[in-house]
């Protein structure tokens, strides 16, 4: 009896849990609709997930069920449903759930593609996205196979599907650093600025980000430009941590040509492609790195004069100090949307990034900087703050991180502003003092050497 029980237990323990051998999505993209069919093989997923979606009706043969709170309880190997963009494009545009015009739009992949729970997938599970109708543009390259465009993914890719664009009006060629083959598409919609001006604008921002790749830029970044009725050149954008990275940026249809020269948003967004995903989401770190480089990158490329962008940083820091009201950077980051305290988080983080860059350069006689830390971390899927700190110390060759971390994260947010900026010869309004003790280091930050 005992032997039998042990045998049964052993049998249970060694029986392989069912896993999917393949998962194939067939998507037909028409003017305002994405019709999706999913075929799973090897197991029957009990639940499916669709981020932030409710009321989507899904069929499996005769069975019907509705997605509630992002979850579909419909054990099935075949699913079919339609994701309609009609009202989303007419009334409630968002980069998340649908933006653009009929026949030329963008949507987040995880907002329209149901995915099974990760545990049912194996690294070798075959995942295919097969498209018909409007031409797709994804984080992954698509190959044409007869009537279809096909993207073959790893199971892990289903965790972050990036932006999916359909029916782009134009592909914009980019000339970047060696090893960077980034792609840009522009969706349909009349623009006051010429296509040539848009091309130059996105080329400059992409090139500045690729150059900061410290000799190993990301191989691919997929960028979608979405015309929107605005007078600003780029009113909003977002980068998703798919692998490869995926960016969507609104372009103002009424923005005059000349306004694109002073745009910082595209630069900021593309700077997010430099860093890894940070576990635990310390927004001050990712936003701080992007805000810091949004100032530094155009100085390094010669697109903007140093005094203009150090002034942007100094003014951002001053606004951040007002917003923080004595709270710590951690506290303002947690309550960033409710306070609101965006400047405190972005520019508080930018000061930390500036000090990390400066101290690594001091320790390595200018040979290394923050961009080298980010390059070393880039192959990693995600990174904790502790791992980031370890990489900073490893690159510097001495332990500098703990002191910087405490100075920026303990006590009042942005309290390092005055000594740090004054030391570099950057006055409160951004006026530059070339006689300041650290002025030569400011010049080295500007040159990146």
* Interface residues toward Zn ion, by CB under 5 A: 287, 290
Q: Which two tokens stand for residue 388?
A: 């980031």
Quote the CA–CA distance of 24 and 310 in Å, as a whole number. Answer: 50
Quote the CA–CA distance of 1 and 218 in Å, as a whole number. Answer: 61
User: Which of 81, 141, 133 minimizes the C-alpha distance to 111?
Assistant: 81
Quote the CA–CA distance of 152 and 140 in Å, as a whole number. Answer: 8
Quote the CA–CA distance of 424 and 420 in Å, as a whole number. Answer: 6
Residue 247 vs 424, nearer CB to Zn ion: 247
Question: Please, what is the minimum distance in Å from the beta carbon of residue 445 to Zn ion?
Answer: 20
Query: How do beta strands 163-166 and 104-108 pair?
Result: antiparallel
Residue 153 vs 290, nearer CB to Zn ion: 290
Q: Max Cα separation, the chain? A: 89
Residue 245 vs 444, nearer CB to Zn ion: 245
Residue 67 vs 274, nearer CB to Zn ion: 274
Question: Please, what is the minimum distance in Å from the beta carbon of residue 128 to Zn ion?
Answer: 32
Question: Please, what is the minimum distance in Å from the beta carbon of residue 272 to Zn ion?
Answer: 6
* Residue of closest CB approach to Zn ion: 290
Does an H or E element contain 108, and which?
strand 104-108
The residue written with tokens 């520019």 in the block is 347
The residue written with tokens 């709270």 in the block is 327
Question: Please, what is the minimum distance in Å from the beta carbon of residue 389 to Zn ion?
Answer: 21
Residue 116 vs 276, nearer CB to Zn ion: 276
The residue written with tokens 């499996």 in the block is 60
3-state SS track over 212-232: CCCCCCCCCEEEEEEEECCCC
Question: Please, what is the minimum distance in Å from the beta carbon of residue 95 to Zn ion?
Answer: 13
Question: Please, what is the minimum distance in Å from the beta carbon of residue 136 to Zn ion?
Answer: 26
CB atoms within 10 A of CB 239: 23
Question: Please, what is the minimum distance in Å from the beta carbon of residue 328 to Zn ion?
Answer: 21
Residue 120 vs 290, nearer CB to Zn ion: 290
| Signed CA dihedral, 321, 323, 326, 331: sign only | negative
Quote the CA–CA distance of 122 and 419 in Å, as a whole number. Answer: 52
Question: Please, what is the minimum distance in Å from the beta carbon of residue 291 to Zn ion?
Answer: 7
Residue 101 vs 290, nearer CB to Zn ion: 290
Residue 238 vs 303, nearer CB to Zn ion: 238
User: Which of 375, 381, 385 minimizes the C-alpha distance to 448?
Assistant: 375
Question: Please, what is the minimum distance in Å from the beta carbon of residue 446 to Zn ion?
Answer: 22
Residue 180 vs 350, nearer CB to Zn ion: 350
Collapsing DSSP to helix, strand or coil, 277 comes out as strand
Question: Please, what is the minimum distance in Å from the beta carbon of residue 294 to Zn ion?
Answer: 8
User: What is the distance of C-alpha 10 from the center of its chain?
Assistant: 45
| Signed CA dihedral, 163, 137, 29, 227: sign only | positive
Answer for the pair 177, 211: CB distance below 8 angstroms, yes or no. Answer: yes
Residue 287 vs 359, nearer CB to Zn ion: 287
**Facing residues of 35 across strands?**
28, 82
């Amino acid at each position: 009896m005992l032997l039998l029980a042990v045998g049964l237990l052993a049998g249970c323990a060694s029986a392989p849990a069912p896993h999917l051998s393949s998962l194939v999505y067939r998507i037909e993209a028409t003017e305002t609709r994405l019709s999706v069919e999913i075929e799973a093989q090897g197991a029957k997923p009990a639940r499916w997930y669709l981020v932030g979606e409710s009321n989507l009706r899904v069929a499996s043969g005769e069975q019907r069920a509705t997605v509630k709170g992002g979850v579909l309880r419909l054990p099935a190997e075949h699913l079919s449903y339609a994701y309609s963009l009609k009202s989303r494009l007419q009334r409630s545009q968002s980069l998340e759930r649908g933006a653009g015009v009929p026949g030329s739009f963008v949507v987040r992949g995880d907002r329209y593609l149901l995915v099974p729970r990760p545990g049912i997938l194996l690294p070798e599970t075959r995942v295919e996205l097969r498209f018909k109708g409007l031409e797709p543009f994804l984080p992954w390259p698509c190959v044409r196979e007869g009537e279809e465009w096909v993207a073959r993914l790893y199971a892990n890719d289903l965790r972050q599907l990036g932006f999916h664009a359909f029916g782009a009006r134009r592909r914009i060629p980019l000339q970047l650093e060696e090893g960077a083959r980034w792609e840009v598409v522009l969706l349909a919609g009349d623009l006051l600025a010429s296509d040539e001006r848009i091309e130059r604008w996105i080329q400059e921002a992409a090139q500045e980000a690729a150059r900061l790749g410290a000799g190993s830029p990301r191989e691919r970044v997929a960028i979608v430009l979405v015309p929107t009725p605005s007078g600003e050149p780029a009113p909003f954008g977002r980068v998703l941590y798919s692998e490869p990275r995926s960016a969507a940026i609104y372009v103002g249809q009424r923005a005059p040509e000349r306004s694109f020269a002073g745009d910082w948003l595209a630069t900021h967004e593309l700077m997010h492609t430099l860093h890894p995903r940070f576990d635990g989401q310390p927004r001050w770190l990712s936003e701080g790195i992007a805000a810091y480089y949004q100032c530094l990158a155009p100085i390094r490329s010669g697109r903007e004069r140093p005094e203009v962008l150090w002034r942007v940083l100094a003014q951002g820091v001053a606004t951040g100090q007002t917003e923080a009201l004595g709270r710590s950077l951690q506290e303002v980051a947690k309550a960033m949307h409710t306070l609101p305290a965006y400047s405190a988080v972005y520019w508080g983080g930018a000061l930390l990034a500036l000090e990390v860059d400066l101290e690594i350069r001091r320790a390595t006689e200018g040979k290394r900087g923050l961009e080298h830390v980010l390059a070393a971390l880039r192959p990693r899927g995600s990174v904790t703050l502790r791992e980031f700190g370890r990489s900073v110390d490893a690159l510097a060759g001495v332990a500098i991180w703990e002191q910087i971390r405490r100075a920026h994260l303990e006590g009042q947010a942005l309290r390092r502003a005055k000594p740090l900026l004054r030391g570099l010869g950057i006055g409160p309004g951004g006026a530059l003092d070339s006689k300041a003790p650290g002025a030569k280091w400011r010049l080295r930050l500007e040159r990146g050497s």
